[in-house]
Amino acid sequence: MSNLDIHAAVTELGSWQDETYQWLHQHPELSMSETETCNFIEKQLQDFGYQTEIIGGGVVGILRNGTGKTTLFRADMDGLPVREETGLPYASTITRRDRDGNEVPVMHACGHDVHITAGLGAARVLAAHRDSWSGTHIALFQPGEETAEGAKSMVAAGLVDKIPRPDVAFGQHVLTGPMPTGAVGTHVGAILSTGASLKITLHGKGSHGSMPHMGIDPVVLASTIVMRLQTIVSREIDPFQMAVVTVGSVQAGTKSNIIPERATLLVNIRAYDVAVREHLLTAIKRIVNAECVAAGSPKPAEFELYDSYPLTANDPQVTKKVTEAFLAHFGAERVGDCGEVPASEDFSTIPDAFGIPYCYWGLGGFRDDDPKFPNHNPKFAPVMQPTLATGIEAVLAAVMAWLGKSEQE
């Protein structure tokens, strides 16, 4: 057991928790444009006594405190182009310009403001209680999680060579379910799915709507592809494996009496196994190419892979140790197995770049009797307390399992 009274130390943070969270919630920024957020975080870390550096659009704070292990906690920073409808007194009214120059509303609709507050809160407690631990703690705040760019950007900017090599990495995510606020959930192995999106451009031959025989209709082609793609999961994937293929967008044409030249499909996939992911991608391309041949397309379809997320698979030994730390701190009634979550993350890109094990866990954000709105919903609004305190305490419990002086004796 750690000799740091985690609950008391977090209680000492007082109103700082809510004030920090509310500022972040009111100032969301779009992916890979988190300049204001970075400045806020860096100033806080410097005030706590951390050595800081901006790397690949993210902020890294390093606190060295004698000999021992090195831990890394990562929090994501970006908001979403969503107009907030929570009605909260601290609701976001911010608009920002996206990459296409459009003015869009922005909201922390996925809880990244909770993650930042937890990472900063844990960093502050560790700085204030150096007599309770020994080693090095790295507080990492990553951009661009929502577009799967941020972790890659930090690694490409030399993260591995610029900071101490951690022994272990941690991450967490506030969730609508399956745990109520005040609870945490771990899971051994795959906890978040691998995911990717495909933009598929189909080519036809334009014609008048009254003369379909003189054209090649990409709308009909797109329709046959959409239906055929549904057979991949139902007829090609082992029923005991999880796989999802979603066509989220079909775009073609401008008028009812014009057969257009092209159609575009946006397809998303999810899986808990890398081999299944590759099967899905291969099958999608096979089906699209075959249907294009069958339709007599004038040229092959074009495929663009984007928003590609790795599998998040927790190390068994690290997860066991984190779970034991959670049980010791929170008690069995507040710790559970959150199971596999079908959402995707790019967190694992960072520990994978270092070749180190990691544990990623879920954090409950809603009371049992509260209306439930999922992540990315305009009404997504985790309960501030005890969600924030629990998130900070969870980070500290995990970190102290490696850095606590009593752990090293």
Quick one: 303 and 319 in the same domain?
Answer: no
Decide if 409 is inside a domain. no
Decide if 408 is inside a domain. no
Separation of alpha carbons 161 and 197, rounded Å: 31
Quick one: 34 and 98 in the same domain?
Answer: yes
376 is in an annotated binding site: yes
Quick one: 205 and 341 in the same domain?
Answer: no
- Is there a cis peptide before residue 178, judged by omega within 30 degrees of 0? yes
- Reduced to 3 states (helix: H, G, I; strand: E, B; else coil), residue 394 is helix
Quick one: 142 and 256 in the same domain?
Answer: no
279 is in an annotated binding site: no
Q: What is the pLDDT of residue 176?
A: 87
Q: Where does a domain end: 291, 308, 325?
A: 308
Radius of gyration for the alpha carbons in the chain, expressed in angstroms and rounded: 23
Q: What is the pLDDT of residue 405?
A: 77
Geometric angle at alpha carbon 154, from 151 and 160, rounded to 5°: 110
Separation of alpha carbons 166 and 163, rounded Å: 9
Alpha helices in 331-383 (DSSP H): 349-354
Residue 298 sits in a domain whose CATH number is 3.30.70.360
Count CB neighbours of 100 within 10 A: 6
Separation of alpha carbons 222 and 200, rounded Å: 10
Separation of alpha carbons 267 and 305, rounded Å: 10
203 is in an annotated binding site: no
Could you tell me which residues come within 8 angstroms of residue 135 by beta carbon, excluding any fewer than 6 positions away? 65, 66, 67, 68, 69, 70, 71, 402, 403
Alpha helices in 138-265 (DSSP H): 150-156, 159-162, 218-236
Separation of alpha carbons 304 and 199, rounded Å: 5
Quick one: 221 and 267 in the same domain?
Answer: yes
Residue 64 DSSP symbol: E
Q: What is the pLDDT of residue 1?
A: 44
Beta strand pairing status for 168-180 and 358-366? Answer: parallel
38 is in an annotated binding site: no
Separation of alpha carbons 114 and 104, rounded Å: 22
Q: Where does a domain end: 290, 308, 326?
A: 308
Q: What is the pLDDT of residue 2?
A: 59
Separation of alpha carbons 174 and 182, rounded Å: 11
Quick one: 262 and 360 in the same domain?
Answer: no
* Residue 67: domain span: 6-191+311-403
Q: What is the pLDDT of residue 258?
A: 97
How many domains are contained in the chain?
2
Quick one: 145 and 15 in the same domain?
Answer: yes
pTM of the model: 0.93
Quick one: 32 and 162 in the same domain?
Answer: yes
Separation of alpha carbons 55 and 72, rounded Å: 15
Beta strand pairing status for 189-192 and 335-337? Answer: unpaired
Quick one: 65 and 98 in the same domain?
Answer: yes
129 is in an annotated binding site: no
Separation of alpha carbons 24 and 19, rounded Å: 9
Q: Where does a domain end: 275, 308, 341?
A: 308
Separation of alpha carbons 303 and 269, rounded Å: 14
Separation of alpha carbons 95 and 361, rounded Å: 31
Q: What is the pLDDT of residue 372?
A: 83
| Structure tokens, 394 | 């969870």
Q: Tell me if 172 sits within 8 A of 363, measured CB to CB.
A: yes
Q: pLDDT truncated to tens, each residue of the chain (409 aa)?
A: 457 999 999 999 999 999 999 999 999 999 999 999 999 999 999 999 999 999 999 999 999 999 999 999 999 999 999 999 999 999 999 999 999 999 999 999 999 999 999 999 999 999 999 999 999 999 999 999 999 999 999 999 999 999 999 999 999 999 987 789 999 999 999 999 999 999 999 999 999 999 999 999 999 999 999 999 999 999 999 999 999 999 999 999 999 999 999 999 999 999 999 999 999 999 999 999 999 999 999 999 999 999 999 999 999 999 999 999 999 999 999 999 999 999 999 999 999 999 999 999 999 999 988 888 999 999 999 999 999 999 999 999 999 999 997 666 5
